[in-house]
Amino acid sequence: MRLDRIDDPTVYGTRAKIGVIVPPTNTANEAEWARMTPPGVTIHAARMPLHLDTASEAGKAALYADVERYAGDLAQASVDLIAYGCTAGSMVSPVEGLPDFMTERTGRPAVTTAQAIVEALRALGATKVALGTPYDRALNAHEVRFLADHGIAVVHEEGFGYGAGGPQEHRNIARIRPEEVYALARRVDRPEAQAILLSCTDLATLDAIERLEAETGKPVVSSNTATFWFALRRAGVDDRLDGFGRLLREH
């Protein structure tokens, strides 16, 4: 359900203005959202430090403090909705906690990537997924636990291993080619998986999704398609978009 639009019409954002917070090294999120954005919708981005510790009390406190600051900056642009476009940094249970906090502090509807993934898989009726990521084993294990907490079982997972040598490796994620993403998805897929999940908003997935769906017969959800889909729907934009997978085409 969307909230009322902010009464601040601008020349380009005639249907919706969506703010998105991304990690500092991320270059795929904005590029993929630009490819999917329908007419009359504008995207407005802010960069925030990366938060990988979302489990400890100190880690959560640091995350919430930064989110409040950067969401507040975006709210000054009179955006209709604010998205936190980071998978690892938004895997906080319960999944509604962080977006509810953002709304409380800014007065704007808010979504997070982790929340959007859960909602997207629910919309598709998928409770068992194959998971492909650019992450290392520790972060993959954290994502598996997070999804399990929200009723989604990961039947198989694999990552490219970035992050094992430190956060400086994360800048390499945007260099992963679509053909490598495709190959990863095929490796992780299992007969019992009802959907394939490609995690990380800095992972370029759009050029692999349609081919994967055609070959596997399964929906393929990425962090970027899930977040963009959920942000559009929460902002009251119900366009069905072709070329980016079943989620945006049918839901």
Q: What is the pLDDT of residue 7?
A: 59
Q: What is the pLDDT of residue 122?
A: 99
Q: What is the pLDDT of residue 52?
A: 87
The tokens describing 126, both together, are: 């998928």
Chain mean pLDDT for the chain: 96
Mark the ranges of the chain whose per-residue pLDDT is less than 70.
1-9
Task: For residue 156, give the amino acid letter.
Answer: H
Nearest to 222 by CA among 98, 134, 96: 134
Q: What is the pLDDT of residue 10?
A: 81
151-186 burial: b if 16+ Cβ within 10 Å, else e: ebebeebbbbebbeeeeebbeebbebeeeebbebbb
The CATH architecture one would assign to domain 116-222 is 3-Layer(aba) Sandwich (3.40)
The tokens describing 202, both together, are: 């800095």
* Dihedral sign, Cα of residue 32, residue 36, residue 39, residue 40: negative
CATH 3.40.50.12500 fits 16-113+225-240, yes or no: yes
Q: What is the pLDDT of residue 2?
A: 44
Distance CA 102, CA 114 (A): 14
Q: Domains of the chain: which residue ranges?
A: 16-113+225-240, 116-222
Q: Do domains 16-113+225-240 and 116-222 have the same CATH topology?
A: yes
Q: What is the pLDDT of residue 8?
A: 65
Q: What's the pLDDT tens digit per position in 158-190?
A: 999 999 999 899 999 999 999 999 999 999 999
Distance CA 115, CA 119 (A): 6
The tokens describing 97, both together, are: 């906690």
Nearest to 222 by CA among 187, 184, 190: 184
SS3 92: coil
Which DSSP category does 6 fall into?
Answer: P
Distance CA 196, CA 184 (A): 10
| 102: CB partners within 8 A, 6+ apart | 67, 68, 71, 82, 84, 108, 110
Q: Are 91 and 113 in contact (CB under 8 A)?
A: no
| 219: CB partners within 8 A, 6+ apart | 124, 126, 194, 195, 196, 213, 245, 246, 247
